Chain A
Amino acid sequence: MSILVNKNTRLIVQGITGRDGGFHTAKMKAYGTNVVGGVSPGKGGQTVEGLPVFNTVEEAVKQTGANTSILFVPAPFAADGILEASEAGIELVIAITEGIPTLDMVRIMPYLKKKGTKLIGPNCPGLITPDEALVGILPGNIFKKGNVGLISRSGTLTYEMVNQLTTNGIGQSTCVGIGGDPVAGLYFQDLLEMYQNDPETDAVVLIGEIGGDAEEQAAAFIKNKMTKPVVAFIAGQSAPPGKRMGHAGAIISSGSGTAEEKIAAFEAAGVPVARKPEDIPVLIKRALQYG
């Protein structure tokens, strides 16, 4: 089982002919991900890493039966790329691209919803189901198959946490980096629900950071809907004030987005919060024993 990606994933790479696209296509293939092709407008007919390149996503889907797409497309064209994947019937789109204008994301959201397309990112490291599929820029060698799910707003901090888990003998079911942009696809709550319903996941690690109120919402969801144990970490406990959210943004989130508030919200929901990364394996072990 696991969530979102597995052995049945048939992946295409949008932006496969770029430096990052090409490099990570090779890495994903080497990991064993079923990469079936790539898309790069005007470069159809070429091959990259032994994979066929198509001009359009539609053609790629028709020729390869792809169900998942990952984007390494430059920011000005990324929203268009996500729409193209959605229109072509791709079920899950992972947008690695960073720096996409926020309103581009706002504009495409209703269409993705209408088509039922699941989006992860943008500005994210992707996701992995160990030993089955790596769809992203995560370093595959640090992961280990197991029963702990992981969701994170940060990329590299995810690697740090996974490394802590793996070196302590705790494997993962699926690890997802949801990205740090203000308007993004699947969020904590959506993924927590998937983990709750996934028979291969027994506990979840949630890695949040300062800003916004996604952690507070996740805490409420855990309290009301989750029976599986969740442990958390919040980055930015020592962050200097002054980098605050926009004037009106703070109102919607009905909080100032500090680490203290988020930690308090989790603890009130019965979610233990690690003060440093190396505490995560300890908390997970405790959660799995008594959870």
Chain B
Amino acid sequence: MKIHEYQAKEIFSRYGIPVTRETVCYTPDEVVAAAEKSGYPCVVKAQVLTGGRGKAGGVKLVKNKEEAREAATSILGMDIKGYTVEKVLLAEGVKFQSEIYVGLTIDRNSKSVILMTSREGGVEIEEVAKENPDAIIKVPIDADLGMQPFLARKIAFRLFDDFNLVKQAADIFQKMYKICLDTDASLVEINPLVITDDNQLLALDGKMNFDENALYRQPEIEKLYEPDENELKEIEAKEKGLSYIKLDGNIGFMVNGAGLAMATMDMIKMYGGEPANFLDVGGSSNPQKVIDAMNLILSDEKVNAIMINIFGGITRGDDIAKGLISALEQLDVKVPIVVRLSGTNAKEGLEILRGTNLTVVESMTEAAKKAIELSAH
């Protein structure tokens, strides 16, 4: 889950990390008023939950009232990668000597939180990683030890010679680590962290992502969630225990397990078909989930055949079959359905499906070929 720059910086500020003075604005009038108060030059920045704002023209430096109004009018309502800009940040203009990158994230390999920092901040860190990987300092943080003052200092000494900057940076590293743990963040990033003309470190930008598995214990963070249209459909599915992503094809899918779902889609594509969706009914099935899944698949009018591929482990074949029978009773299903059922309680499931007009096949390959054939009619 992502939040906006201004929300990330509010959190940083609460923990005592110095950030730019700024105001969130929703209209050009608000932007002008905030700019007049802040003084010029200042910056108008689009607040959208996607990257690449600068390149899209969503960040503008303004030197007077007219420019502020002009920038606000052009940025508000702008489309950036499918996201409409509904709010902007009016931030003070800051003169700086150089830009630093600092990011905390989870590292699969060391199985720990890792701090990454670089003197080459201000550009996308992926670019630095590609062009000049040695410029990035990476330090995994031992979870038992945490971000001790000595460790934060040690990292900061690799960035700066000036002890005044080292102290400031070490303090920021410790605070970022605390934020990461306190909020269950999967990313805490400041890019750039600038050295101002009077030798102070200041966060010019901020970015945070959060672990969705931990939202249940982060009510304050959950309140900040602004799902887009696709996410809303995905959330609705998730509340029912389903994982759903809409795609462009015509063959609807219901599969258990993300890996098998992906492999099923790969196979359909390989044989020349086009998946209409990715749908993982997950483990621990109950018949209601199957009904919900069928509803979701059929909500897409392009679907003209459905392929059900279940290999039961924790998912039980009889649960799936019962759900299918109820779905057929409750819903007006006009498209052909191909079912492949194996694994836990598959025999019981197939027994339940006997006598229905579903096309029951033995293997995944057979199911894929059959579904493509039926969808062509």
Q: A237-B266, A276-B365 are in contact. Are A101 and B260 (CB under 8 A)?
A: no
Q: Is A75 at the interface (CB under 8 A from chain B)?
A: yes
**Residues A156 and B311 in contact, CB atoms below 8 Å apart:** yes
**Residues A99 and B213 in contact, CB atoms below 8 Å apart:** yes
The count of chain A contact residues (Cβ–Cβ below 8 Å) is 68
**Residues A157 and B263 in contact, CB atoms below 8 Å apart:** yes
Shortest beta-carbon distance from A118 to chain B in Å: 14
Shortest beta-carbon distance from B93 to chain A in Å: 26
A20 to B265, CA, bound (A): 28
Counting chain A CB atoms within 10 Å of each CB, the highest count among B106, B125, B256 belongs to B106
Q: A24-B314, A248-B105 are in contact. Are A100 and B257 (CB under 8 A)?
A: no
Q: Is A59 at the interface (CB under 8 A from chain B)?
A: no
Contacts of A253 in B (CB 8 A): 108
**Residues B262 and A239 in contact, CB atoms below 8 Å apart:** yes
**Residues B311 and A163 in contact, CB atoms below 8 Å apart:** yes
Q: A109-B111, A155-B313, A210-B262 are in contact. Are A276 and B106 (CB under 8 A)?
A: no
Shortest beta-carbon distance from A274 to chain B in Å: 10
A152 to B239, CA, bound (A): 27
**Residues B257 and A155 in contact, CB atoms below 8 Å apart:** yes
Counting chain B CB atoms within 10 Å of each CB, the highest count among A101, A153, A217, A247 belongs to A247
**Residues B106 and A159 in contact, CB atoms below 8 Å apart:** no
Shortest beta-carbon distance from A202 to chain B in Å: 25
Contacts of B311 in A (CB 8 A): 139, 156, 159-160, 163
A276 to B142, CA, bound (A): 41
A24 to B267, CA, bound (A): 31
A278 to B211, CA, bound (A): 36
Contacts of A183 in B (CB 8 A): 106, 108, 111
Q: Is B161 at the interface (CB under 8 A from chain A)?
A: no
Q: Is B16 at the interface (CB under 8 A from chain A)?
A: no
Shortest beta-carbon distance from B105 to chain A in Å: 4
**Residues B283 and A155 in contact, CB atoms below 8 Å apart:** yes
**Residues B283 and A247 in contact, CB atoms below 8 Å apart:** no
Tell me the residues in window 226-259 of chain A with beta carbons closer than 8 Å to chain B beta carbons.
Answer: 233, 235-240, 243, 246-254
| Residue from the list B214, B262, B283, B284 in contact with A102, Cβ < 8 A | B214
**Residues B283 and A251 in contact, CB atoms below 8 Å apart:** no
**Residues A106 and B143 in contact, CB atoms below 8 Å apart:** yes
Contacts of B28 in A (CB 8 A): none
| Residue from the list B111, B257, B262, B365 in contact with A236, Cβ < 8 A | B262
**Residues A236 and B266 in contact, CB atoms below 8 Å apart:** yes
A142 to B180, CA, bound (A): 44
**Residues A247 and B211 in contact, CB atoms below 8 Å apart:** no
Contacts of B266 in A (CB 8 A): 235-238, 276
The chain A residue with its CB closest to the CB of B265 is A238
**Residues B343 and A142 in contact, CB atoms below 8 Å apart:** yes
| Residue from the list A184, A210, A233, A247 in contact with B187, Cβ < 8 A | A247
Contacts of B265 in A (CB 8 A): 238-239
**Residues A252 and B107 in contact, CB atoms below 8 Å apart:** yes
Q: Is B38 at the interface (CB under 8 A from chain A)?
A: no
Q: A24-B314, A139-B344, A155-B313 are in contact. Are A248 and B184 (CB under 8 A)?
A: no
**Residues B258 and A180 in contact, CB atoms below 8 Å apart:** yes
Q: Is B312 at the interface (CB under 8 A from chain A)?
A: yes
Counting chain B CB atoms within 10 Å of each CB, the highest count among A103, A138, A233 belongs to A103
Q: Is A291 at the interface (CB under 8 A from chain B)?
A: no
The chain B residue with its CB closest to the CB of A243 is B245
| Residue from the list B113, B213, B259 in contact with A235, Cβ < 8 A | B259
A75 to B283, CA, bound (A): 14
Q: Is A110 at the interface (CB under 8 A from chain B)?
A: yes
Q: Is A116 at the interface (CB under 8 A from chain B)?
A: no
A96 to B262, CA, bound (A): 21
The count of chain B contact residues (Cβ–Cβ below 8 Å) is 65
Contacts of A109 in B (CB 8 A): 111-112, 143
Chain B window 333-363, contacts with chain A (Cβ cutoff 8 Å), 1 for yes, 0 for no: 0000000001110100000000000000000
**Residues A276 and B313 in contact, CB atoms below 8 Å apart:** no
Shortest beta-carbon distance from A175 to chain B in Å: 12
**Residues A139 and B343 in contact, CB atoms below 8 Å apart:** yes
Chain A window 53-96, contacts with chain B (Cβ cutoff 8 Å), 1 for yes, 0 for no: 00000000000000000000001100000000000000000001
Q: Is B69 at the interface (CB under 8 A from chain A)?
A: no
| Residue from the list A27, A98, A163, A276 in contact with B270, Cβ < 8 A | A276
Tell me the residues in window 150-176 of chain B with beta carbons closer than 8 Å to chain A beta carbons.
Answer: none
Contacts of B144 in A (CB 8 A): 110-111
Tell me the residues in window 98-147 of chain A with beta carbons closer than 8 Å to chain B beta carbons.
Answer: 98-107, 109-111, 125, 136-139, 142
| Residue from the list B245, B257, B342 in contact with A142, Cβ < 8 A | B342
**Residues B258 and A101 in contact, CB atoms below 8 Å apart:** no
Contacts of A238 in B (CB 8 A): 262, 265-266, 268-270, 275
Shortest beta-carbon distance from A125 to chain B in Å: 5
The chain B residue with its CB closest to the CB of A247 is B187
Q: Is A271 at the interface (CB under 8 A from chain B)?
A: no
Contacts of A104 in B (CB 8 A): 214
Q: Is B329 at the interface (CB under 8 A from chain A)?
A: no
Q: Is B331 at the interface (CB under 8 A from chain A)?
A: no
Contacts of B103 in A (CB 8 A): 247-248
A234 to B90, CA, bound (A): 46
**Residues B111 and A105 in contact, CB atoms below 8 Å apart:** yes
Q: Is B126 at the interface (CB under 8 A from chain A)?
A: yes
Shortest beta-carbon distance from B103 to chain A in Å: 4
Tell me the residues in window 247-291 of chain A with beta carbons closer than 8 Å to chain B beta carbons.
Answer: 247-254, 275-278
A153 to B310, CA, bound (A): 18
Contacts of A20 in B (CB 8 A): 284, 314
Q: Is B189 at the interface (CB under 8 A from chain A)?
A: yes
Contacts of B217 in A (CB 8 A): 76, 101
Shortest beta-carbon distance from A150 to chain B in Å: 13
Q: Is A28 at the interface (CB under 8 A from chain B)?
A: no
Q: Is B56 at the interface (CB under 8 A from chain A)?
A: no
11 contacts between A and B (CB under 8 A): A100-B213, A101-B214, A106-B106, A107-B143, A136-B313, A159-B260, A160-B364, A217-B109, A238-B269, A251-B129, A252-B105
User: 3 shortest A-B CB distances, which residue pairs?
Assistant: A154-B259, A156-B257, A157-B259
